[in-house]
């Protein structure tokens, strides 16, 4: 058990290394990718009992010295994020089998996916901000390489924008790290935090806000997101939106609850600043999503809005709000994963990228569009779908905090979500096809490659499935983690 | 080894290298033999100095004075800093010599190799010298010999660059000479003394700035950096590597000695000289980074980048506290490995393809994959990504800035890192990716470089990352002990 955090990080890395060194046939590459990802997911899932029992897993063995050691360790928050992340990676790799059928540089693609999985698990599986930073930087480089996978001019410029902005984010986090280390002489996690209020601490907190906020796609640092997510291959977009931007939220949770004391944050009204940035992020993301005709851009801006919910939950600084935020990480990963998978399936099957071209597409790709509809309904927040629960808890926490206006924010945002998702669904099933698209009507659903179909459908089902299982496990785990922090 | 006991290692190491220089000269144009001789001499000197480690590692300072050059005497000193640096220089020199053994110099190999080995001998002498005058001898000989490498190609531009270099060097020597005279008149002593031996007097400021000018010129400090880009642009890339990895470091080493062992920190901070040096260091960092960003020739870009990186060392020395000193000293190693990799890669590219303009390097990674892999690793190191060496340097320099109560100085370092990213990473991107390169994937060929060149690049590239991978960072521990020895 103690070695599971280490294994979950190193297994995909090892698989990627073996793949680069000796795999030359496509089948071997795929098998190894699947195996590495599945084993890593299994290792993460194997830690769930520890989460339920409130244990902290890990050995005290230090690795690397640059100049601080990193330790692999998993507590509740780590395991919660790790299971979601590794599951999404696993499905994305399955999905890629069909998405990348005619793609180029497959060896590079699968190896990078594995390294990305390793890096993202490393972010959550290390026991201090140093490890977090190390894997943040690795993840930045690897996701850059994944974003530019197509290597066309659009992808290259989007990738460069993404890389330079994440490098700046890395510098901001570096500043925060050095100041924190200077003030406290340590960077590990401790519930309740240990860095007291001081002017330098305030500066470091805002450096972390810039760094983590940029990675999360928080307003006004979201500008890379709408370029990078659409430019990437669809499975990578799903991972970027579903998982990678959540690492920013994870970093903020660690900084706010495990490193800095509440007094340090109150001294600079940190939670208030974050709260208003979160509200701005929600509105801006939704408003911009409404204007996009490019489907993946619309989804990307929607991610901006959704990460705003998570940040809102973190900013409210209460148990219920954090529970809502954590649960929203889970629900958003599933639903945005589904939506990007659907977008990818639409592109590979019909070459259509724009919302205005999707008239009647539901008759060509019924399963895909049912999944899309399911995820769209979820994202709007209709019970009993996942996002309803997160919004419920966020709204309840806002009321408890005496911020009734935030409920209005949530409601308006849901309305905007409905405005930019439902027309796609309605048009897909009931819209009249334009003349030039008519020839496609005789396509049958089974023309879609199976791995693509199954992974999309499974992800869509998970958007609602847990509502019918008692107890509602993800919610229950989120509640326990939040209870452990407050 | 007790104090006063005769130590022979520094003299033997330098002497061995000088004798080997003579032999290389006498052997003439027999290329293979003289390369072997060079490598053996460097390895031998390395081994000889390594035997000093048990004593200097225990913190002993070993001195040996010869009564020549009256009335001053000629002395060697082996302490932890000088032995570690000499070993670093000899190792780097070995790698570069290996590279040169296979590098197509085209003509005058004998002159080039002799000058190279002579510079190696003098550079070792500079760090092992026990007083200002002995250091001056080696420093001058080293600096002047470098013109033979700059002028190697004998083009009009190379001659112009050589003149620029020689005038600045001679100017630096004049400054050093005046400073030396003032020190002799005031203190009647030249030997390194912990805490310094100079007292504040009317001309001591002139002496201080004379030394700073001489060493700053070598380290490429603003405003004495003019020779750098011209020399790097014209010299063969291995000579540029020699300059970046070893010769520029002797300038920074000299600064450390005059700060700590000639004038003393107390005097520095009382006179406010440390602030001035810090400002010059910041100018060097930013000016070098901006010039590198604007430069379109690969080697000239690397020259300006070296200048900026030497600014990091000066920054660490000028802050006068423990963490900053650790960062500064560790950058001797970090920058040596990083810039060594880059310059050797650049040399491989120039010699193999003749391409020097950065715009021409698109798609080069599919012709020279190993070279560009090393270059990419070094580029990521330069940006300061963990766990590579430069991250450690930035970490300690930032801690030093915080200890000095100047958190805003960190922003200068970060700005420089960002510029590093801006001028290195696009080279890497265009070498590998882009719509026009997609067709090259199929035509991937390996580098087809002679093996010594490949091994040289790989050794330096490994040096960028390997020390951080273990649970204990040995060079860092050593650096910490050196810094402790300097400050307490």
Q: What is the pLDDT of residue A440?
A: 52
Q: How many CB pairs under 8 A join A and B?
A: 88
User: Hey, what are B334's tokens?
Assistant: 């970090």
Residue count of chain B: 488
Contacts of B399 in chain A (CB under 8 A): 178, 181-182
pLDDT at A271 over 50: yes
Q: Residue A63: helix, strand or coil by DSSP? A: strand
Give Rg (Cα) of chain B. Answer: 21
Q: Residue B74: helix, strand or coil by DSSP? A: strand
- Where helices occur in B8-103 by DSSP H, the ranges are 9-27, 31-50, 53-57, 80-102
At A457-469, the pLDDT tens digits run 999 998 888 878 8
Looking at the fold, whether A450 and A329 belong to one and the same domain comes out as: yes
- First vs last C-alpha separation in chain B: 22
Is A168 within 8 Å of chain B by CB? yes
Residue A166: closest CA among chain B residues belongs to which residue?
A: B418
Q: What is the pLDDT of residue B2?
A: 47
Decide if A106 is inside a domain. Answer: yes
Listed range (A45-49, A272-276, A362-366, B171-175) with the worst mean pLDDT: A362-366
pLDDT at A442 over 60: no
Looking at the fold, whether A316 and A465 belong to one and the same domain comes out as: yes
At A92-112, the pLDDT tens digits run 999 999 888 888 888 999 999
Q: Are A358 and A346 in contact (CB under 8 A)?
A: yes
Q: What is the pLDDT of residue B69?
A: 73
% residues pLDDT > 70 (chain B): 98
Looking at the fold, whether A33 and A170 belong to one and the same domain comes out as: yes
Q: What is the pLDDT of residue A418?
A: 92
CB contact under 8 A, B421 and A167: yes
Q: Residue A74: helix, strand or coil by DSSP? A: strand
Decide if A475 is inside a domain. Answer: yes
A141, A153, A175 member nearest B414 (Cβ): A175
pLDDT at A220 over 50: yes
Looking at the fold, whether A239 and A291 belong to one and the same domain comes out as: no
Q: What is the pLDDT of residue A79?
A: 93
Q: What is the pLDDT of residue A381?
A: 86
Q: How confident is the model at residue A444 (pLDDT cuts 50, 70, 90)?
A: low
Listed range (A426-430, B210-214, B474-478) with the worst mean pLDDT: A426-430
Mean pLDDT of B346-375: 91
At B146-194, the pLDDT tens digits run 999 999 989 999 999 999 999 999 999 999 999 999 999 998 888 898 8
Looking at the fold, whether A224 and A298 belong to one and the same domain comes out as: no
Contacts of B437 in chain A (CB under 8 A): 151
Is B65 within 8 Å of chain A by CB? no
Mean pLDDT of A410-431: 90
Mean pLDDT of A282-296: 92
**Chain B interface disruption, residue of A62, A167, A183, most B CBs within 10 A:** A167
Distance CA A244, CA A237 (A): 10
CB contact under 8 A, A141 and B470: no
CA-based nearest distance A138→chain B, Å: 8
Contacts of A171 in chain B (CB under 8 A): 414, 417-418
Q: Which residue has the tokens 């001797």?
A: B332
Apex CA B194: angle with CA B193 and CA B195, to 5°?
Answer: 110
Q: Are B365 and B372 in contact (CB under 8 A)?
A: yes
Decide if A259 is inside a domain. Answer: no
Q: How many CA atoms lie within 13 A of A291 on its CB side?
A: 6
Helix (H) or strand (E) run with residue B141 in it: helix B132-150
**Chain A interface disruption, residue of B433, B434, B465, B466, most A CBs within 10 A:** B433
pLDDT at B1 over 50: no
Looking at the fold, whether A238 and A285 belong to one and the same domain comes out as: no
Q: What is the pLDDT of residue A362?
A: 84
CB contact under 8 A, A65 and B468: yes
Mean pLDDT of B413-435: 91
Is A454 within 8 Å of chain B by CB? no
* Residue-range definition of the domain harbouring residue A323: 280-486
| Contact residues, B window 398-457, toward A, CB-based 8 Å cutoff | 398-399, 402-403, 407, 410-411, 414, 417-418, 421-422, 425-426, 429, 433-435, 437-438, 441
Whether ipTM tops 0.90, in short, is yes
B385, B398, B411 member nearest A137 (Cβ): B385
CB contact under 8 A, B437 and A151: yes
Mean pLDDT of A417-445: 73
Cα–Cα distances in angstroms (integers) from residue B392 to residues B377, B476, B479, in the given order: 16, 9, 12
Q: What is the pLDDT of residue B58?
A: 86
At B339-357, the pLDDT tens digits run 999 999 999 999 988 899 9
Mean residue pLDDT across chain A: 90
Any bridge partners for residue B63, and if so which? B77
At B18-61, the pLDDT tens digits run 999 999 998 876 667 888 999 999 999 999 999 998 888 888 88
Looking at the fold, whether A379 and A426 belong to one and the same domain comes out as: yes
At A66-86, the pLDDT tens digits run 888 999 999 889 999 999 999
Looking at the fold, whether A285 and A380 belong to one and the same domain comes out as: yes
**Chain A interface disruption, residue of B382, B385, B409, B423, most A CBs within 10 A:** B385
Decide if A30 is inside a domain. Answer: yes
At A238-259, the pLDDT tens digits run 999 999 999 999 999 999 999 9
Q: Residue A223: helix, strand or coil by DSSP? A: coil
- First vs last C-alpha separation in chain A: 27
Contacts of A174 in chain B (CB under 8 A): 384, 394, 398, 414
CA-based nearest distance B258→chain A, Å: 29
CB contact under 8 A, A156 and B435: yes
Decide if A360 is inside a domain. Answer: yes
Q: What is the pLDDT of residue B373?
A: 94
Mean residue pLDDT across chain B: 91
CB contact under 8 A, A67 and B434: no
Q: Which residue has the tokens 């997101």?
A: A225
B388, B410, B418 member nearest A175 (Cβ): B410
Q: Are A200 and A185 in contact (CB under 8 A)?
A: no
Q: Which residue has the tokens 């945005």?
A: A336
CB contact under 8 A, A104 and B441: yes
Looking at the fold, whether A229 and A362 belong to one and the same domain comes out as: no
Decide if A184 is inside a domain. Answer: no
Q: What is the pLDDT of residue B47?
A: 95
| Contact residues, A window 216-245, toward B, CB-based 8 Å cutoff | none
Decide if A72 is inside a domain. Answer: yes
CB contact under 8 A, A67 and B417: no
Our count of domains for chain A comes to 2
Nearest CA-CA partner of B339 in B299, B284, B296, B369: B299
Looking at the fold, whether A226 and A348 belong to one and the same domain comes out as: no
CB contact under 8 A, A200 and B407: yes
Contacts of B403 in chain A (CB under 8 A): 182
pLDDT at A51 over 90: no
Q: What is the pLDDT of residue A65?
A: 87
% residues pLDDT > 70 (chain A): 97
pLDDT at B364 over 80: yes
Mean pLDDT of B414-421: 94
Listed range (A283-297, A327-341, A407-421, A425-439) with the worst mean pLDDT: A425-439
- Global pTM value: 0.94
Distance CA B147, CA A430 (A): 80
A62, A64, A203 member nearest B407 (Cβ): A203
Mean pLDDT of A421-438: 77
Contacts of B422 in chain A (CB under 8 A): 164
Looking at the fold, whether A160 and A70 belong to one and the same domain comes out as: yes
Residue B323: closest CA among chain A residues belongs to which residue?
A: A182
Per-residue 3-state assignment (H helix, E strand, C coil) for A277-337: HHHHHHHHHHHHHHHCCEHHHHHHHHHHHHHHHHHHHHHCCCHHHHHHHHHHHHHHHHHHH
Distance CA B353, CA B346 (A): 10
CA-based nearest distance A151→chain B, Å: 5
Nearest CA-CA partner of B247 in B218, B276, B222: B218
At B106-134, the pLDDT tens digits run 888 889 999 999 999 999 999 999 899 99
Nearest CA-CA partner of A148 in A176, A183, A109, A194: A109
Looking at the fold, whether A224 and A344 belong to one and the same domain comes out as: no
B386, B392, B402 member nearest A133 (Cβ): B386
User: Hey, what are A330's tokens?
Assistant: 């889970």
Decide if A186 is inside a domain. Answer: no
């Amino acid at each position: 058990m103690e070695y599971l955090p280490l294994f979950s990080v190193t297994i995909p890395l090892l698989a990627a290394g073996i793949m680069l060194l000796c795999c030359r046939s496509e089948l071997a590459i795929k098998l190894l990718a699947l195996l590495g990802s599945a084993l890593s997911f299994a290792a993460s899932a194997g830690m769930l009992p520890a989460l339920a029992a409130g244990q902290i897993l890990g050995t005290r063995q230090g690795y690397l010295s640059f100049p601080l050691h990193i330790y692999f360790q998993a507590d509740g928050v780590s395991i919660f994020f790790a299971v979601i992340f590794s599951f999404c990676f696993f499905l994305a790799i399955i999905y890629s089998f069909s998405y990348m059928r005619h793609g180029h540089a497959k060896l590079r693609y699968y190896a990078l996916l594995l390294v990305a999985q390793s890096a993202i698990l490393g972010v959550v599986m290390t026991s201090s901000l140093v490890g977090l930073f190390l894997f943040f930087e690795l993840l930045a480089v690897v996701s850059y390489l994944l974003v530019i996978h197509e290597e066309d001019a659009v992808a290259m410029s989007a990738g460069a924008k993404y890389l330079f902005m994440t490098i700046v984010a890395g510098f901001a986090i570096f500043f925060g790290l050095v100041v924190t280390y200077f003030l406290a002489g340590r960077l590990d996690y401790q519930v309740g935090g240990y860095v007291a209020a001081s002017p330098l601490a305030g500066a470091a907190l805002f450096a972390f806000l810039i760094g983590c906020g940029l990675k999360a796609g928080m307003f006004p640092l979201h500008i890379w997101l709408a370029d990078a997510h659409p430019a990437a291959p669809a499975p990578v977009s799903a991972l970027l939106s579903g998982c990678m931007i959540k690492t920013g939220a994870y970093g903020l949770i660690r900084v706010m609850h495990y490193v800095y004391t509440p007094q340090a944050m109150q001294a600079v009204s940190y939670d208030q600043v974050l709260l208003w940035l979160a509200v701005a992020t929600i509105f801006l993301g939704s408003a911009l999503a409404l204007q996009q005709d490019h489907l993946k851009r619309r989804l990307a801006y929607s991610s901006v809005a959704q990460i705003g919910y998570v940040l809102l939950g973190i900013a409210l600084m209460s148990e219920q709000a954090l529970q809502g935020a954590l649960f929203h990480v889970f629900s958003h990963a599933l639903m945005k994963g589904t939506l990007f998978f659907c977008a990818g399936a639409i592109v590979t099957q019909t070459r259509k990228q724009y919302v205005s071209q999707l008239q009647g597409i539901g008759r060509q790709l019924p399963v895909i569009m049912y999944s899309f509809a399911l995820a769209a309904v979820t994202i709007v927040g209709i019970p009993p779908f996942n996002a309803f629960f997160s919004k419920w808890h966020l709204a309840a926490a806002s009321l408890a905090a005496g911020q009734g206006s935030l409920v209005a924010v949530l409601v308006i945002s849901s309305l905007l979500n409905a405005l930019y998702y439902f027309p796609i669904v309605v048009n897909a099933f009931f819209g009249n096809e334009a003349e030039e698209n008519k020839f496609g009507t005789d396509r049958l659903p089974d023309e879609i490659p199976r791995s693509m179909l199954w992974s999309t459908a499974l992800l869509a089902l998970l958007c609602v499935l847990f509502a019918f299982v008692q107890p509602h496990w993800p919610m229950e785990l989120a509640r326990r983690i939040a209870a452990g922090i407050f | 080894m007790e104090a006063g006991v005769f130590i022979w290692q520094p003299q033997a190491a330098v002497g061995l290298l000088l004798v080997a220089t003579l032999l290389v000269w006498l052997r003439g144009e027999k290329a293979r033999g003289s390369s072997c001789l060079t490598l053996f001499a460097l390895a031998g000197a390395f081994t000889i100095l390594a035997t000093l480690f048990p004593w200097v590692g225990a913190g002993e300072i070993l001195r040996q004075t010869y009564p020549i050059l009256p009335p001053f005497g000629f002395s060697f000193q082996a302490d932890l800093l000088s032995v570690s640096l000499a070993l670093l220089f000899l190792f780097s020199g070995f790698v570069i010599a290996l590279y040169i053994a296979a590098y197509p110099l085209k003509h005058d190999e004998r002159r080039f190799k002799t000058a190279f080995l002579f510079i190696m001998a003098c550079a070792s002498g500079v760090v092992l010298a026990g007083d200002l005058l002995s250091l001056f001898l080696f420093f001058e000989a080293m600096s002047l010999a470098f013109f033979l490498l700059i002028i190697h190609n004998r083009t009009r531009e190379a001659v112009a660059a050589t003149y620029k270099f020689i005038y600045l060097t001679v100017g630096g020597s004049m400054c050093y000479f005046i400073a030396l005279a003032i020190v002799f008149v005031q203190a009647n002593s030249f030997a390194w003394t912990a805490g310094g031996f100079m007292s504040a007097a009317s001309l001591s400021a002139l002496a201080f700035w004379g030394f700073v000018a001489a060493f700053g010129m070598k380290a490429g400090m603003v405003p004495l950096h003019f020779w750098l880009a011209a020399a790097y642009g014209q010299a063969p890339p291995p000579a540029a590597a020699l300059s970046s990895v070893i010769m520029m470091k002797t300038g920074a080493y000299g600064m450390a000695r005059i700060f700590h062992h000639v004038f003393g920190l107390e005097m520095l901070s009382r006179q406010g000289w440390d602030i001035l040096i810090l400002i010059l260091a910041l100018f060097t960092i930013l000016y070098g980074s901006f010039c590198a960003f604007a430069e379109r020739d690969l080697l000239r870009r690397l020259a300006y980048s070296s200048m900026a990186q030497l600014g990091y060392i000066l920054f660490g020395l000028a802050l006068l506290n423990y963490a900053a000193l650790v960062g500064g000293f560790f950058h001797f190693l970090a920058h040596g490995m990083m810039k060594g990799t880059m310059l050797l890669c650049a040399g491989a590219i120039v010699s193999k393809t003749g391409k020097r303009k950065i715009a021409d390097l698109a798609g080069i990674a599919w012709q020279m994959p190993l070279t560009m892999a090393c270059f990419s690793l070094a580029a990521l190191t330069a940006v300061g990504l963990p766990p590579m060496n430069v991250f450690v340097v930035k970490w300690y320099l930032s801690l030093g800035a915080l200890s000095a109560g100047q958190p805003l100085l960190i922003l200068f370092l970060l700005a420089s890192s960002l510029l590093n990213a801006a001028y290195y990473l696009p080279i890497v991107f265009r070498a590998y990716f882009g719509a026009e390169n997609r067709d090259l994937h199929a035509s991937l060929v390996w580098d087809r470089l002679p093996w010594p060149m490949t091994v040289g690049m790989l050794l330096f590239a490994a040096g960028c990352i390997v020390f951080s991978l273990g649970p204990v960072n040995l060079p860092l521990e050593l650096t910490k002990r050196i810094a402790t020895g300097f400050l307490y």
